[in-house]
Structure 1
Amino acid sequence: MMQTITTNTLEDTMYYKEIPVFTYKITYPSFTTTCNGDASESINNHYAQLAQKTQGYGRKVLYAQAAADAKYPKSPRPFPTYTLDVLYQITYNTGCITSLYTDTYTYAGGAHGQTIRTSDTWDFNTGKRIRLSDIYPLTPASLYQLQKSMEEQVKERLKANQGIYFEDYRSLLQDTFNANSFYIQPGMVIIYYQQYDIAPYSTGLPEFYIPVNF
């Protein structure tokens, strides 16, 4: 048993006068399941509504910003097209459990864009999200162990590449920890941090691997 996944896409290029100022591509999943049809319907509605909302934000807010920038006489030519890209990745799909993350990349002028990651782990029996605390006990003792494990992984990576984390990464690992920022792979929970949380832009989105039994 597992879920069958179909990819849906919303995409367009929008113009100001004859200049392509904004382009977007939003991909999102829809599921069929042998577990619980009502659950898959509610999860599918969640992703469809989210995609529509993201598209609306792009077409109204980002397009308006891009068109205003393109109007500006001193804006560079060719105009650096504003971009909104939403891409999802399935990381686990076994039995009635599916886990995935979605990266939303926005470029709105400047040196580089920004990526924000979100993630969901679903139980297709109930239609509800599985929380990190359902897989990994969030007690003071286990959180301490989690912190130590992530610190060790950072130390190992710094041996190979100096400067890929901020110097105060130990306190930042705690301060910016988000219990919703995880997804699962077989035998593993992956905890991730957003850009700039604990590391420079060039490091991307740091991930930490925690073995679990589930």
Structure 2
Amino acid sequence: MNTPDPMNNTTRLPKMAALVLAATLATTGTIAILPGNTGSVYAATTSHNMNTSIVHVQVEGKAISTQGILGKTGKTLIPLKEAAKALGATVTYDAKTRTVIVTKGKQISTYLLYTDGGAKDNLFVTFNSSELGDTYDSQVIKGTTYVETKALSEPFGYRTVWDKATNTVIVTTAGMNAITITPTTLAHSINNTYTNVNFTYPVISGLTNEAAQTKINNALKAHVEQWMATMDKQIQEAGKPVSPSMQYEGDSGYKVSYNQNGVISFLLYDYGYLGGAHGGETLTGMTFSLQDGKALKLNDLLKSNASYRQDLKQLLQNEIKKQDGAEDGTLDSFNELSKNSSAYLDDYYLTDSGFTIFFQQYAIAPYAAGTPEFHFTFNQLLKAGTNPLKAYQ
């Protein structure tokens, strides 16, 4: 498999990367810009010219004045500041941390631009007041910061829809379940001067079935409580850091990957750092029926295909081969993992286009690969016209 950028699939921006970025900016005398500010620059590498195609942008049914662009990787980029304000969010710039902060109600996400040393610009976005998040494409052109559309829609629970006929990208809540999702911080028992913790998890409200709502919320809270207990135990076993400057880390966060048709799907992020070259992360997919609060497995959605396990295994093998995974051992690792068990299929989350299966760090690939993900549509596994979510609508 081609070795990916080690920043890909990361859920927490390593402190060293932030420090390198800050040092680079200090050396060059430039600062990361707040979109729309004039007289500010990010860095020479982030202001280069690029071939772009104009994309119209709509936010909740209304067009914004600044058009979007197609980035070099083919992803749609939209102006962060204007699009965020169109969502009703406030946008500020923190000069100390050199981040853009977008706030909407209790949801707060930060946007940190950095360069990977080449022509490509990256964006690390935290989710829902947590320190955890993901990387997205970005580009700074003539004082305006453009970001991958999902860099705005995913942290704030919106859908991204593409209208091919009008060449328009749409950020919207249309078609979504009529519920509210609130980021909530778990009170923790870890109390020392050398550990930073931030355990954030989602709480849903607005369901008419209060029993189902409670069941879902209890499951989400139990997950983060378990991670907190795990971190507490590991911190006690590790003892106080040898270096007085070292800080342990314990974090949890999430994003909403799907929120339609009576079903909600979360991707939960857990991160811990107890010294060493880097921390460790664990991803958990949790999908629920809003009718009764039942946790849904892939079997619930693909059961009309009696051979879906074998079919998915073959699809995964094919995808790994396409990415040269047969050359670096990833295919062998997957074959060994899946030889006598299909438990790996529990690691999934829903998307607007289907579902994604992911693998934990080191499960089938080296650390640099992050958490490998493979995306599929239901049409690849089910008969034409089959709606796997019909029973939950």
The TM-score, its normalising length taken from structure 1, stands at 0.80
Residue 102 of structure 1: SS of its match in structure 2?
Answer: strand
Q: C-alpha offsets along residues 157-186 of structure 1, whole Å, 9 cap, x if unaligned?
A: 228xx74x5351451352474231111112
Residue of 149, 157, 166 corresponding to 2:330? 166
Counterpart-to-counterpart distance in 2, 1:10 and 1:169: 36
Residue of 184, 198, 202 corresponding to 2:350? 184
Matches within 5 A, 1:26-175: 26-58=199-231, 60-66=232-238, 68-70=239-241, 75-79=242-246, 81-137=247-303, 141-158=307-324, 163=328, 166=330, 168-172=332-336, 174-175=338-339
Residue 265 of structure 2: SS of its match in structure 1?
Answer: strand
Structure 1 residue 5 corresponds to structure 2 residue 181: yes
> Which of the pair is proportionally richer in helix?
1
- Bigger mean CA offset, 187-196 vs 28-37: 28-37
Give the match for residue 59 of structure 2.
none
Letter in 2 for 1:125: Q
8 Å CA contact retained: 1:92, 1:99: yes
8 Å CA contact retained: 1:102, 1:119: yes
Instruction: Report how far residue 193 of structure 1 moved.
Output: 1.2
Letter in 2 for 1:181: D
Instruction: Report how far residue 141 of structure 1 moved.
Output: 3.4
Q: CA RMSD in A?
A: 2.7
Counterpart-to-counterpart distance in 2, 1:138 and 1:108: 45
Letter in 2 for 1:51: V
Letter in 2 for 1:64: Q
Instruction: Report how far residue 151 of structure 1 moved.
Output: 1.5
Instruction: Report how far residue 140 of structure 1 moved.
Output: 6.7
- How many residue pairs match? The answer is 201
8 Å CA contact retained: 2:263, 2:289: yes
Q: C-alpha offsets along residues 20-46 of structure 1, whole Å, 9 cap, x if unaligned?
A: 421111111111134522201221122
Between 1 and 2, higher relative CO (CA 8 Å, sep ≥ 6) is seen in: 1
Alpha-carbon distance change, 23 to 195 in structure 1, aligned in 2, over 3 angstroms:
same
Give the match for residue 119 of structure 2.
none
Counterpart-to-counterpart distance in 1, 2:253 and 2:195: 17
8 Å CA contact retained: 1:193, 1:206: yes
Instruction: Report how far residue 146 of structure 1 moved.
Output: 1.1
